[in-house]
Amino acid sequence: MMFNFLKSKKEGGQLGKPIGIVTHFYGGIGVAIVKCGVPIATGAKLRFKGATTDFEDIVGSIQFNHESIPEAKKNQEVGIKVRDKVREGDEVYLVA
């Protein structure tokens, strides 16, 4: 008997390697602070995944030190406007 939770990530839709992690969330303004592992540009489609979080969103704006920037650099911590709540420790994936 094969249980669904025993399926590999590849069979169930592989997420791949996370490209960033949420370090903070400002609920009042809907902004996630993300530590980027790779460059992330405005217009990129991201997936936020955690214990109780799982949604996709298109990056509409990125800010660094309260200034809008077109792309976040590797290892940069930036603010990204999101449509739903995220939590510290949630992983960020790039959707192809």
pLDDT tens string 19-73? 999 999 999 999 999 999 999 999 999 999 999 999 999 999 999 999 999 999 9
Task: List the chain domain ranges.
Answer: 15-94
The topology under which CATH files domain 15-94 is Elongation Factor Tu (Ef-tu); domain 3 (2.40.30)
User: Whole-model pTM?
Assistant: 0.83
First-to-last CA distance in the chain? 33
